Structure 1
Amino acid sequence: MSVPSRILVYGVYGAGKSTLAERLAERLELPWYPVDDLLWQPGWVEVPVALQRSRIEEICRRDRWILDGAYHGWRDVPLARADLVVGLDYPRWLSFWRLLRRTARRLSTGERVCNGNRESWRSVLARDSILVWHVTAFGRARRRMRAWQADQSGPPVLLFDSPVALDRWLAGLPTRGSVDGQTAQP
């Protein structure tokens, strides 16, 4: 497999999609477009789905990109253009633990995320909190990644069931500046 230039990183909330996308962007010198920045306006106001789709279409027309997620209103767009899908298919307990740890850190530090938004106790305890979304979306995300992997008509899909397996794969990728003319074996 050639070194990919259009990568979709996928997984359930808290699995580490953004962290992986950032690492891949640095290692492969590809532009990374954090999906949450494209979906949320200040005040946690969701961008209308039609505008989300338009933004994603504009990015995916480019020759080089990394996206750290794909949602219902436009999931087909990056899948149609991706050279590679990297799926974080970690056990539920691991991704939920990571999400809890990240949420606690953001609450305690007031860390700003996606367009200056901050997590709050109110958002964490709400019926539509990210923690609830994790629980309800986990099975669907897992089934979706596995279906993509089985579908030979789509882009290649690498599924990683542990951070150790992912780190082994990352260690085999070319480093910054050595990508041209090299190949990576997934």
Structure 2
Amino acid sequence: MADQPPLPEAKKRRYLVVGTSGAGKSTFAQALAAKLGARYIELDAFYWGESWQAVPHSQFESAVREASHGPCWVADGNYSAVRELLWSRATDVIWLNYGRATVFSRVFWRTVSRGLLRTRLSHGNRESLRMAFLSRDSILLWAYTTFEKNRHKFSQLREDPHYAHLQWHEFRQPRQARAFLLAVDEQDR
């Protein structure tokens, strides 16, 4: 059997997309994976089972381990339970570090839209307006209360020598993320 030609540099990258809930991690990660022809790894789909019940940790870790094999993938999510596994395999971190107004408006409209349209997510789960506005488990409340904590956490992780092998791309404005995706297109030409 003849040797395979070496992969282009872009096909050797393994990206993590992180940021506060509602920043647009999944949307960005899906677009990047599509442009690279890479596997898209949605951590929420592995973490949540039916009726918004978390799957057992061993099941979650096993699914993430299997999905993150290979030379090129894009994963989205902030799950510390699989951080060591994913971050040790990744080459790049894309941090969607947008302002509170941008993040909160995105999560608000996404939640309202999904609630009104009864959009099915992984495992048949749906977001409800009742849960969004009248529950302590509200994604809106979660996004608001974890905003500063996430900024602090990712700033610390960026400086952690344990993750010095990672190339960081911090986007403070959505236009920076769009420009990054356009640059991926340019590299392919």
TM range (shorter): 0.7 to 0.9
CA RMSD in angstroms comes to 1.8
CA distance in 2, matches of 1:27, 1:121: 34
Of 35-44 and 55-64, more deviation after overlay is shown by 55-64
Picking from 90, 97, 100, the partner of 2:108 is: 100
How far 1:146 moved relative to its partner? 2.0
Does 2:40 match 1:32?
A: yes
The residue type paired with residue 20 of structure 2 is: V
Deviations 1:59-85 (A, max 9, x none): 223322211113121112111111111
Alignment of 1:158-169 (within 5 A): 158-169=169-180
Alignment of 1:12-31 (within 5 A): 12-31=20-39
**Matched positions, count:** 177
CA distance in 2, matches of 1:79, 1:72: 10
Structure 2 unpaired stretches of 5+: 1-8
Structure 1 contact 22–32 (Cα < 8 Å) conserved: yes
The residue type paired with residue 96 of structure 2 is: L
CA distance in 2, matches of 1:117, 1:83: 32
More helix by share: 2
How far 1:138 moved relative to its partner? 1.2
Query: Which residue does 2:156 correspond to in 1?
Result: 147
Structure with more relative contact order (C-alpha pairs < 8 Å, separation 6 or more): 1
How does the TM-score come out when normalised to structure 2? 0.86
CA distance in 1, matches of 2:37, 2:69: 18
Query: Which residue does 1:6 correspond to in 2?
Result: 14
Alignment of 1:61-140 (within 5 A): 61-124=69-132, 125-140=134-149
Deviations 1:80-117 (A, max 9, x none): 11111101000011101100000000111111112211
CA distance in 2, matches of 1:56, 1:16: 20
The residue type paired with residue 95 of structure 1 is: V
Structure 1 contact 6–84 (Cα < 8 Å) conserved: yes
Structure 1 contact 32–65 (Cα < 8 Å) conserved: yes
1:151–1:72 CA distance, 2 compared to 1 (3 A): closer
Identity %: 33
Deviations 1:5-34 (A, max 9, x none): 211100110000000011101111101021
Structure 1 unpaired stretches of 5+: 180-186
Structure 1 contact 18–68 (Cα < 8 Å) conserved: yes
Query: Which residue does 1:183 correspond to in 2?
Result: none
CA distance in 2, matches of 1:154, 1:70: 18
The residue type paired with residue 164 of structure 1 is: R
- Does the residue aligned with 1:32 lie in a helix, a strand or coil? strand
Larger Rg: 2
1:175–1:25 CA distance, 2 compared to 1 (3 A): farther
The residue type paired with residue 154 of structure 2 is: M
How does the TM-score come out when normalised to structure 1? 0.87
